[in-house]
Structure 1
Amino acid sequence: MRHLGWVVRMAVAIVVTAAGVSAAVPASGATPRDGYVELLVTESFDAGSGTFQASGRRLCPSGTTALLSQEVTERRNMFTFEVDKVFNCDDGSGTFVVHILARWSPCDPADRGTWSVVSGTGAYANLSGHGQLVGTYYPGPCDEAVGIVDAMRGMVAG
């Protein structure tokens, strides 16, 4: 009998927990991650431009990038990159400019940093947001890299 009482208490606890979880979901179906985005940017250093693919509700799915400005500083065998890039959406919905701040040590396989939206046009005129990035050099970090693939993740609004 004692075992049966424990089973009943556990069943009640599971039902109460499930009811609480379903009540916590907003009626609109929105989730806290509605503003979450991922971008995969491939850029050639020679051209100063590239392409991007994006996922998330707030951005266009693909487009091109162009380098607007770049400043590289070196201190104690650590390079810091400050870059502004414009993202031009293939669907014609607009553009947005992203500021990137990344650090890299020579021959490390990747750089790491942050990004933030600084301006936009069209559907992105009120866009704001920021996140993290990891950039992987190709063909390799010590092989006279000709480009970079940046994996960017973060949150946007607007």
Structure 2
Amino acid sequence: MSTPKYSQIDTKTLPSNIMDLRDDAFYDLIRQVSGKRVAELLTFQECNGVDSFLGCKDVTAILQLKSDQLNNLKKHSCVTLTDGTIALLPGLESSVNNLMKLLKKKREEINKQVQRLQSITSSALPALPAAATISSTLPTTNVSISHSPIRTTVP
């Protein structure tokens, strides 16, 4: 029997509203979980929430591009080899991979909870009668509204 893909990952430390975190709140969480450099990498790319981060195939791929705007980010995240190529720092790569696994597992757990709640809710609700039956069983209330004329005086 094989173990689930992400069974060793503990998502209990993540906030329950993680899917709602955006921008600074999301980046603050990333700093706590994966470190300052991972947060800088995601901030630079506008990966501002769980879904946008998980939607990126490889958030480190941007570091292979040649751009002056990336120089500072590369300086903190990579090592430049003598032939001019760059290599991502292994610890940073590991942190990004672990973060990816952690957030995927959390999203899967949340989706399973939602599915369970939906199935519990749908099975617990009694079957509703047809609309015509509902409207005939509702009590009726007569409300009388009186209109008084509006009088204005002209000077």
Judging by fraction of residues, say which structure has more helix. 2
What TM bracket, shorter-length normalisation? under 0.3
Which structure's relative contact order is higher, taking Cα pairs within 8 Å and 6+ residues apart?
A: 2
TM-score by length of 1: 0.24
TM-score normalised per structure 2:
0.24
